[in-house]
Structure 1
Amino acid sequence: MFTLSDRLEEDIEIEGKYYPINLFFDVVLRFFDLMDDENFFDSDKIEIAFEMLVGTEKDFEFETKYKAVQAIVTSLIIGVENKQKKSSGESSDKKIYYDLKQDAEYIYASFMQEYGIDLIDQQGSLRWEKFKALLSGMRDTTKFKEIVGIRAAKLPTGKGTEEERKRLKELKEMYALNKDQKSREEELDYMFNKLAGGN
């Protein structure tokens, strides 16, 4: 969970020793790309993810790597607050109206517009937690938030709304996501559960 009172986690304990973690936003985005890549088996994804996220060349058993990746994803990438909501019975069915890959140009432009931050220059520097906080804090006047608003908007009904309805429908088609978005939490939970069953 992102707080202003604690420092960001810099390392992870594995078998009694601490190793640095790489949680820059660009590393996490590459991790998501890896998870979406159907050319790799889930076990291969864990091996590669461990190399990406944990700064050590020391070799560990697969089970250890699996647990380390799961811990990083659960507590730092997805966030424990999502897990707490799920366990307390709160709805996690919130529809997702953006895709970090498909909307990359809009996100880049909106970071420049809102904060004067060049995300290309921030690779290897800006932490994932800060990136998420800045992304969610953007004003509706940014291109990214405008597009998310269009996707989330309900088509108007009633007399006199035909033109408005037609225009919104066109905008929805123009900015439609390439595929239905499942939550990252759902996808990653599925993968971890499948691997846990096979271990």
Structure 2
Amino acid sequence: MFTLTDRLEDEIEIEGEVYPLDLSFDVVLRFFDLMDDDIFFDTEKIDISFQMFVLADIDFDFETKYKVVQTIVETFIVDKEDSPSSDSSGGDNKKLYDLKQDAEYIYASFMQEYGIDLIDMQGELRWEKFIALLGGLRDKTKFKEIIGIRGAKLPSGKEMADERKRLRELKQIYALKKDQKTKEQELNDMFNILSGGKKDGH
């Protein structure tokens, strides 16, 4: 939970030893890309994810890596990525943005709203701060404008025919490439498979 009274956790204890974490926003985004990559088996994704998040120079068994990655995802990532604070869907739970597909709009909006260059902030801006700032973007920014278009209902009535046509065209222009499951659903599916004993790489 993001608060203004506690410092962001930047380390994790594994088998009695404490190791620093890298939870900068670009690392988390690369983690999401990894989860969507069909080239790797789920077991390989766990191994790579562990290396991305945990700054440790020793190797651990798979079970430990699995538990650590799951803890990191559930504690720091999933509930924040799917936060309704950056979703103007009106509570219908429809996915209205994609962090990868909308990268240019997000970048431009951070520059417009905060004067933050996200490229320069790679490796520095924490994921939790990134999500908080993303949710705080005003409607005038390109990102929020597009979310508004995707979530808007087509107006009814003959007198609204032109507006309905205009909005429909905008929806087609800014439509997400696919009807995606939430990151939480995707990650839960993976963890459920692995926890079921399918740890042979298939």
> TM-score band (shorter)?
over 0.9
Q: Give structure 2 stretches of 5+ with no counterpart.
A: 83-90
Secondary structure, counterpart of 2:158 in structure 1 = coil
Corresponding residue number in structure 2 for 1:128: 127
TM-score for the superposition, normalised by structure 1 = 0.92
Q: How does 1:1-199 map to 2 (within 5 A)?
A: 1-79=1-79, 94-198=93-197
Overall identity of the aligned pairs, in %: 69
TM-score for the superposition, normalised by structure 2 = 0.91
Q: Which runs of 4+ in 1 moved over 6 A?
A: none
Segment of structure 1 superposing worse, 34-43 or 153-162: 153-162
Deviation at 1:158, TM superposition (A): 1.6
**Structure 1 CA distance for aligned equivalents of residues 79 and 139 of structure 2:** 25
2:22 and 2:53 in contact (8 A); partners too: yes
Corresponding residue number in structure 2 for 1:85: none
Q: Which protein has greater RCO, CA pairs closer than 8 Å, 6+ apart?
A: 2
2:23 and 2:53 in contact (8 A); partners too: yes
Q: Deviations over 1:154-178 (max 9, x none)?
A: 1111230100000000000000111
Secondary structure, counterpart of 2:113 in structure 1 = helix
Deviation at 1:93, TM superposition (A): 6.7
**Structure 1 CA distance for aligned equivalents of residues 15 and 2 of structure 2:** 26
CA-based RMSD of the aligned residues comes to 1.6
Secondary structure, counterpart of 1:78 in structure 2 = helix
**Structure 1 CA distance for aligned equivalents of residues 188 and 57 of structure 2:** 27
**Structure 2 CA distance for aligned equivalents of residues 105 and 153 of structure 1:** 21
Q: Deviations over 1:133-165 (max 9, x none)?
A: 000010000000000100000111123010000
